[in-house]
Structure 1
Amino acid sequence: MWKIKPPIVFPQEAKYRPVLESLVPTDPMSLFNLKRGSPEEEFPYLRGNHTFMGRFLTLKMYTRQYHRATQSGVIFDDIIRPGLEEPDDLTGPKSVGCLAGDAQSYILFCDFFDRIIEAYHDHKMSKSQESDFNHDNLKGGDDFDGDYAISCEVSVARCVDDFCFPTHCSRGERRKLLTLAKKALEQLSEEFPGKLYSMEKLTEDQEEMGLIVDAPSSSQFRTGVARDWPDSRAVWVSKDCSLGIWINMEEHIKLVTMRSDANIAEAFKCICINTLKLEALYKKLRHPFIWKQHLGWVVSSPADVGTGLRASVRVRLPHLFTHNRLQDVLKRLRLRMENTDELDVYNVSNVPTIGFNEVSLTQLVVDGVKLLIVMEKSLENGQSIDELVPMQK
């Protein structure tokens, strides 16, 4: 019987421990003859750091990761740099504060990433991830009240096998990724016409068409996501403007569908059909999208692993936004609400991306938005919403 609290055992850490021990190399930094101290001397300053990374990182954990490096040279300090550059504030939403440098990072540093993913997504890593792109399984999403629901967006992020992620990839890798994308999109365009636009050659005429690309943020430059901008960055736009595919931005590939109405069912259908087509084309090119059974679709941010899917609806909710139970309602629905540039209009989207398949996540948003609109109508009529507060999803 334990006289003290037993140590926490994370299933992925136990599963991969033999692999981890075999992959511990000589400190790669020593190859460059750099003066790197002990883990105690190198441990980062985390006071006032409100990211999930800052919440979980301890000296013991840092010491365990300190002499590990992936085969492409990613070390633990590369992983935690985003959270050190952007420590978040006490009152705002909390970011994960870390980015993987390659797919192997999730295995080699699994005892760190598992904690981050479990806490951020409220998800047990012992569960296997499932995928479902059958858009016919979605119920509703085409019948929102147009007086409240204004527009919608669905996006899916993917990373390509055998390439480092944006924070760590070389110029050569990034250019090869663009070449791969061109080959795949040429074939996609045969049945779904579209055109590829290079960020380097984006003209004023193209910007007038709506292809306005904001410059990367300073944190993206510091973490390496926007390194060498705009080299090898591009966007493919379908002829009917229903789909955009971004290449070498935050992830290797990101498919985005935006609609000027709130028919998220149609937006989800467009994403499902074209993600499956693109997946097949990349497999044909012998560079499939990265999938791990316990993580699902693997991308650089732990905030997006699992499905890589974000579904959002712009909704007019002036009364509900100021209600004292709003945060409790959103937590139970597993949704987030963010300000937009329009008064009293807010962007409602899913918080988790893992633990649900693609249909279930979109259904979460559909059902949640419907309930929020019902609550807004009740408040407009001076009624209480206490009986409408849902159970935890």
Structure 2
Amino acid sequence: MEYAKEVKYRPILESLAPVDPITLLKLNRISPVDEFPNLNGNKTTMASVLTLDVYKWQYNRATDGGVIFDDVIRPGLEEPGQSSGPLSVGCIAGDAQSYILFCKFFDRIIEAYHGYKMTSNQESDFNYDNLKGGDDFDGEYAVGCEVRVSRCVEGFSFPTHCCRGERRQLHTLAKKVFDQMAEEFPGQLYSLGKLDQGMLGEGLNMETATDLRIKTGVARDWPDGRAAWLSKEGNLVAWINIDDHLQLVTVRTDSNIKEAFQCICVHLQKLEALYKKMRRSFIWKQHLGWVVSSPAEVGTGLRASVHLRLTHLPLHTRLGNILERLRLRMDPAGTAGSSGVFKVSNVPTIGFTEVELTQVLVDGVKLLIVMERTLEDPEGSIHHLIPAQK
């Protein structure tokens, strides 16, 4: 049966329904089965999660900004990863809505990559006084440290998808923010085209348009709209519109990760207050924490690392298992004259607060140093030092 009022008001209600963005896109695609990517030999987390059923589920969807699912999985198709070495996440969000619209995919990616169940709310803690240790590493082994943290700003698409105008607006917004910071935290904002490696402090590296950034669209119109703010002391840089809207990086030539973490916390909280004052808050979702473009960085957006000079431990047969249990990764430092120096950093970025993640690194580095010292004795054994599986 149809009622008179239902017949009368149905067209009005239908006209008020929001338009599905995918209907506005004219895409010459055939079907999910025909468009499903070839994942043979693909070693990314994306490939381990993506099935035809998942692809079908996401296929006819688009965010308000026009991000479709193929945009999300593009990085893993361009760079399929390797069987050895660090695991690549293989996907990237085009905007904050991507995490909501494609949640069936992104939630699985985050769980698989971070070993984290999406059942609890993320918390944030910048109280650096709660960090225990980090300023007392043995200088014979610990030779440097770095802390970097990423943020994205409400109301803008992420670098893979944003237009020139958005990028330039973010650049202008950053200039206003850092101008207001000048009295408390002196520094200088440079357009990326006017910056060179010689202007950066020791240990800081110039950002360039890498092959992967070009393939995924991050480097479109490079270096237009990109900038870097350098602190007066030279040990802190804020990159604007590179992989995320904002990334703070501090590098020290000593191993005092406690001081490096404090530097990041103080500056980041000031930046957050200024962006919020301009009604452009950093993106925060209760179940995701701080939202950035890569699901490998969501939660805290924090990567802390300590450079260790190691000789015996990298050759140990159980090193991979040890690092997994400590929730750490180890990579060659890759700096000049750094033979035997490795960069040890946190693997997860979600499920812990900023202080807890840095504490995981501090405790793990201390244990690795004890293990290295033990192995210097030809008869030394570290089996009793290996932590239990977490």
Q: Same fold (TM over 0.5)?
A: yes
Alignment partner, residue 360 of structure 1: 356
Alignment partner, residue 8 of structure 1: none
Aligned residues: 370
Note the C-alpha offset of 1:182: 0.5
Alignment partner, residue 346 of structure 1: 342
The alignment partner of 2:153 has SS state of coil
Alignment partner, residue 17 of structure 1: none
Q: Is the 8 A contact 2:192 2:227 kept in 1?
A: yes
Alignment partner, residue 103 of structure 2: 110
Alignment partner, residue 376 of structure 2: 380
TM-aligned CA distance change 1:390 to 1:31, over 3 Å: closer
2:176 equivalent to 1:190:
no
TM-aligned CA distance change 1:357 to 1:329, over 3 Å: same
Aligned counterpart for 1:25 among listed residues 13, 20, 26: 20
Deviations 1:83-132 (A, max 9, x none): 00000122222111000000000000001000000010010101110000
Q: Equivalences for 1:200-219 in 2 at 5 Å?
A: 200-202=193-195, 206=199, 213-219=206-212
2:162 equivalent to 1:166:
no
Q: Is the 8 A contact 2:371 2:385 kept in 1?
A: yes
Supply the distance in 2 between the matched residues of 1:131 and 1:203 (Cα, whole angstroms): 34
Deviations 1:39-88 (A, max 9, x none): 11111111111101111111111001000110111000000000000001
2:219 equivalent to 1:222:
no
> What amino acid does structure 2 have at the position aligned with 1:221?
I
> What amino acid does structure 2 have at the position aligned with 1:251?
D
Q: Is the 8 A contact 1:24 1:68 kept in 2?
A: no
The alignment partner of 1:27 has SS state of helix
Q: Is the 8 A contact 1:24 1:69 kept in 2?
A: no
Deviations 1:7-57 (A, max 9, x none): xxxxxxxxxxxxxxx9892634x743x421011111111111110111111
Note the C-alpha offset of 1:319: 0.1
Q: Is the 8 A contact 1:159 1:299 kept in 2?
A: yes
Supply the distance in 2 between the matched residues of 1:276 and 1:254 (Cα, whole angstroms): 13
> What amino acid does structure 1 have at the position aligned with 2:350?
I
TM-score (norm 2): 0.92
TM-aligned CA distance change 1:204 to 1:112, over 3 Å: closer
> What amino acid does structure 2 have at the position aligned with 1:217?
T
Supply the distance in 2 between the matched residues of 1:290 and 1:228 (Cα, whole angstroms): 25
TM-aligned CA distance change 1:212 to 1:297, over 3 Å: closer
The alignment partner of 1:191 has SS state of coil
> What amino acid does structure 1 have at the position aligned with 2:368?
L
Q: Equivalences for 1:128-277 in 2 at 5 Å?
A: 128-202=121-195, 206=199, 213-277=206-270
Supply the distance in 2 between the matched residues of 1:200 and 1:186 (Cα, whole angstroms): 20
> What amino acid does structure 1 have at the position aligned with 2:352?
F
> What amino acid does structure 1 have at the position aligned with 2:348?
P
TM-aligned CA distance change 1:375 to 1:200, over 3 Å: same
Q: Is the 8 A contact 1:99 1:300 kept in 2?
A: yes
Note the C-alpha offset of 1:208: 9.5
TM-score (norm 1): 0.91
Alignment partner, residue 328 of structure 1: 321
Q: Equivalences for 1:11-22 in 2 at 5 Å?
A: none
Supply the distance in 1 between the matched residues of 2:363 and 2:198 (Cα, whole angstroms): 40
| Segment drifting more, 238-247 vs 175-184 | 238-247
Structure 2 unaligned residues grouped into runs of 5+: 1-16
The alignment partner of 1:177 has SS state of helix
Alignment partner, residue 11 of structure 2: none
Note the C-alpha offset of 1:210: 8.4
Structure 1 unaligned residues grouped into runs of 5+: 1-21
> What amino acid does structure 2 have at the position aligned with 1:144?
F
Report percent identity of matched pairs.
Answer: 64
TM-aligned CA distance change 1:24 to 1:303, over 3 Å: farther
Supply the distance in 2 between the matched residues of 1:214 and 1:274 (Cα, whole angstroms): 21
Alignment partner, residue 386 of structure 2: 389
Supply the distance in 1 between the matched residues of 2:99 and 2:203 (Cα, whole angstroms): 37
Q: Is the 8 A contact 2:159 2:217 kept in 1?
A: yes
> What amino acid does structure 1 have at the position aligned with 2:241?
N
Q: Is the 8 A contact 1:23 1:68 kept in 2?
A: no
Q: Is the 8 A contact 1:290 1:297 kept in 2?
A: yes
> What amino acid does structure 1 have at the position aligned with 2:327?
R
> What amino acid does structure 2 have at the position aligned with 1:377?
R
Supply the distance in 1 between the matched residues of 2:197 and 2:33 (Cα, whole angstroms): 52
